[in-house]
Amino acid sequence: MIAVFAPGQGSQSPGMFTPWLELPGVADLLGEWSEATGLDLVRLGTTADAEEIKDTAVTQPLLVALGTITALQLDLSGDFERVVAGHSVGELTAAALAGALLPAEAVALAARRGAEMAAACAATPTGMSALLGGDPDEVAAGIEAAGLTPANRNGAGQIVAAGALDKLAALAENPPAGARVRPLAVAGAFHTAYMAPAEAALASYASTLSVSDPRPILLSNADGAAVPTGAELLERLVRQVTRPVRWDLCLTTCRDLGVSSVIELAPAGTLAGIAKRELPGTEIVAVKTPADLDAARALIAASPQHGQGEHTPDFRVVVTPAKGVFTRAVGLVEGGDIAAGTKLGVIATNRDEHVITSPQAGVLAEWLRHDGDIVAAGLPVARIDHVEAS
């Protein structure tokens, strides 16, 4: 099975559209999408400097446009076994790849998302810092103890903290054991409560969009789960701006699916590097320029085709709603059937208890935490599998 990944903010570079404009039809597409967004995407992707394209309102539509162009050049509509996922704004690219949004709608949504997040960043001075190394759970707990949010859990020993600038500075002075802190050049605290105004604006905008059920499998940043319906996907895309990116859980699901090859769409590099460490033995192609398209096409040509009567797996990784002590529900065993809403366990905090329930009917495939484990918010506690005939 092939995983197709779409990168997020930070992967952009000046002139990244230039080689792609030599391909037939690309200039026309960018012209259409420029009208849809009110941005001159051709100029921004060719002659604009690094300072101009790091503006969140510009970066996001540029990335979705280039990722979508790459996918169209690869023709990912064939009947080969695949899963798609995108990091942060890359999830909009993934939605277009999965047929849930039309390409023009995905680029326009990225432009609106970028503009609203830029406005939210301007309202309060905030930032983000990457923490490299250390025990992941201890690092996440240390970030929360510092009054910050673990906004991205990327795997490969990297967690990104987000929040107020003074708290980020304090964290850098006293980092969790074994971790190094590296400030990131971003406009603000993405994927935190600071983005609540952007979420509200996007909810209104998203209500005007038409969306289809994603095909093939599309994994959500929220929990690494396969998203079954277009309606749920749209809700998740809206909520995503204030929720942490759990790229580590997307990679866990890829392992569970038996992914053997990865294609990262342009502007590629970051996610391919993480995949090399987190999915060892996987064949990886990072599409950086049109010169890399043939290698990606060769991976697709060698991928198994769907046979008759295949099943589409639907995964849910259930995560903790709060920091506390986890206790499993009595009587539940791995391999057992469960109904939607089944109580899986509780998280006990200093003040109260939070019940954790199954979001769907299926099989309790795996417990990911033991009784008595102290867990941070957003950590996986169980994986629920559901297989339904396609």
Two structure tokens written together for 135:
């025990």
For residue 115, give the amino acid letter: A
Two structure tokens written together for 232:
């749920």
Which of 34, 191, 358, 386 is flagged as catalytic?
A: 191
Closest CA to 271 of 54, 16, 8, 2: 8
Q: Cα(197)–Cα(297) distance, rounded to whole angstroms?
A: 41
Which of 11, 34, 87, 88 is flagged as catalytic?
A: 88
Whether 220 is catalytic is no
Q: Which residues in the chain belong to E strands, given as ranges?
A: 2-6, 82-86, 126-132, 149-155, 158-164, 180-183, 217-218, 261-264, 283-286, 311-319, 324-328, 337-338, 343-348, 353-357, 362-367, 374-375, 380-389
Whether the CB-CB separation of 48 and 180 falls below 8 Å is answered with no
Whether the CB-CB separation of 377 and 356 falls below 8 Å is answered with no
Give the length of the chain. 390
Whether 210 is catalytic is no
Strand bridging mode 380-389 / 362-367: antiparallel
Cβ burial, residue 10 (10 Å; 0-12/13-18/19+): middle
Two structure tokens written together for 343:
């109580």
Active-site residues, by number, are 88, 191
